Amino acid sequence: MSYQELVKQYISIYGGTDTDIRIFEAPGRINLIGEHIDYNGGHVFPVGLEYTNIVVARPNGKNEINLAASDLPDRVCAKIDQLTDYKHLHWGSYQLGVAYELQQAGFAIVGCDLYYHGTVPFGAGLSSSASIEVATATALLSLGGEEKLDFKQIAVLCQRAENQYVGMNCGIMDQFISALAKKDHAMILDCATLDYQYVPLDLGRYTIVITNTNAPHKLTETQYNQRRSECEQALAIINQNGGSYKYLCEMDEAALKTYQDQFSDEMLYRRARHCVTEEARTKKAVEVLRSGDIEAFGQLLKEANVSIRDDYEATGPELDAAYDVAVSLPGVAGSRMTGGGFGGCNISIVEKDMAGAFEAQMAVQYERRTGIKPSFYRSAAGEGAREVKDWR
């Protein structure tokens, strides 16, 4: 849907003309490697997508924020001086949580009418929620008169909104890459310090194929928060037995093994082992990608999938089926689940001239195993949050 069509829909809902209308957007993401370690002080290696969430916005001169979306009948009207009252909303709590956190940080929130349209598939594990949050923050700050946006601060405030307002105890990665992605680049982000670098995403004769399992994305608040709690328990065991670590990812595997006998619960040790080995894999992946060794990069993706499947237990039958099919097909250098897991998407590094055949064979074999038809996406590395200036 074009920006002009969205503006027409906006006016049909809110009235007026397009004179003061502004448009903002922020991308979804895939994470190449470094899964479930952002909240354990590790490095992650995400890429912003060309799929985005768009916010059409205009001040309304009132003490209220109005929300509407192109694919939902829901309409929300929230009072700016009562933003703590909307945490229960089925749709709208992410946006109003962002407004609340911006307000708490001292930013002026002006009354406005907001209209949302997304091309990031919902429920696919491509971080549609973070892109909504970051696009909302970009819109609200801009309407409030902020001329030079601090996108690092935006990412932190959006994460805080999801943690404290919505109640999902996520790490920083999704909001950070949505805010600060760079076209044609991946980002290596140290989640402990928020230091980051861009890495050119040059896969040579390969491309990334995203397979949506179309299984319900079961990354519920309970499951995600449970994994985080298990990591905290593992870290506590280590520190109660002589360790002095702030994060699991400060350790290497040799150091972790010295504490293995202190774990009465083998499951907690496996959670820690995933974090420690995934941190090492992520750092190595950046090295081999920079050197152009795509085959070695793909092998690290395979190892990462095995770890999150067996040690972290965050995949499920559909993601397992997608991985098993992918690595059996010709032209595939590597494959793994991406995102929080419990449903969602798989990414595969596939030779460009075999990508079409990969999708065809994956569709047949995956459906045979699961009874579900998959969907496929291809996307170059897209730009981070921004105002769309040239829509008129």
Task: Read off the CATH number of the domain in which 98 is found.
Answer: 3.30.230.10
Q: Are residues 86 and 151 in the same domain?
A: yes
Residue 344 in this model has a pLDDT that exceeds 90: no
Residue 176 in this model has a pLDDT that exceeds 80: yes
Confidence class for position 174, pLDDT limits 50, 70, 90: very high
Span of 144-158, 218-232, 275-289, 317-331 with lowest mean pLDDT: 218-232
In the chain, the number of structural domains is 2
Establish if 385 belongs to a structural domain.
no
Confidence class for position 218, pLDDT limits 50, 70, 90: low
* Domain with 67 in it: 3-200
Residue with structure tokens 């992918």?
A: 326
Residue 16 in this model has a pLDDT that exceeds 80: yes
More confident position, 74 or 375? 375
Q: Are residues 28 and 170 in the same domain?
A: yes
Averaged over 280-295, what is the pLDDT? 96
Confidence class for position 219, pLDDT limits 50, 70, 90: low
Establish if 42 belongs to a structural domain.
yes
- What pLDDT is stored for residue 216 in this prediction? 67
Establish if 391 belongs to a structural domain.
no
Residue 276 in this model has a pLDDT that exceeds 90: yes
Residue 343 in this model has a pLDDT that exceeds 90: no
**Residue of 174, 261, 311, 390 marked active site:** 174
- Residue 85 is a catalytic residue: no
Among the candidates 166, 200, 234, a domain finishes at: 200
d(CA 206, CA 351): 4
Residue with structure tokens 């929130």?
A: 109
Establish if 388 belongs to a structural domain.
no
- What pLDDT is stored for residue 217 in this prediction? 57
- What pLDDT is stored for residue 135 in this prediction? 98
Residue 370 in this model has a pLDDT that exceeds 80: yes
Confidence class for position 220, pLDDT limits 50, 70, 90: low
d(CA 281, CA 263): 24
Cβ neighbourhood burial of 299 (10 Å; 0-12, 13-18, 19+)? middle
Q: Are residues 178 and 238 in the same domain?
A: no
Establish if 389 belongs to a structural domain.
no
Confidence class for position 392, pLDDT limits 50, 70, 90: confident
Q: Are residues 190 and 214 in the same domain?
A: no
Q: Are residues 213 and 196 in the same domain?
A: no
278: closest CA among 231, 221, 325?
A: 231
Averaged over 69-80, what is the pLDDT? 95
- What pLDDT is stored for residue 121 in this prediction? 81
Establish if 324 belongs to a structural domain.
yes
Q: Are residues 46 and 12 in the same domain?
A: yes
Establish if 61 belongs to a structural domain.
yes
Q: Are residues 146 and 270 in the same domain?
A: no
Do 345 and 51 touch, CB atoms closer than 8 A? no
Residue with structure tokens 């999801």?
A: 162
Averaged over 80-103, what is the pLDDT? 96
Q: Are residues 257 and 159 in the same domain?
A: no
Residue 221 in this model has a pLDDT that exceeds 90: no
Confidence class for position 124, pLDDT limits 50, 70, 90: confident
Enter the tokens of residue 332. 């595939």
Establish if 279 belongs to a structural domain.
yes
pLDDT tens-digit map of 242-265: 999 999 999 999 999 999 999 999
Residue with structure tokens 């939902």?
A: 72
Residue 228 in this model has a pLDDT that exceeds 70: yes
| Edge-to-edge strands, sheet with 375-377 | 332-338, 345-351, 206-212, 375-377
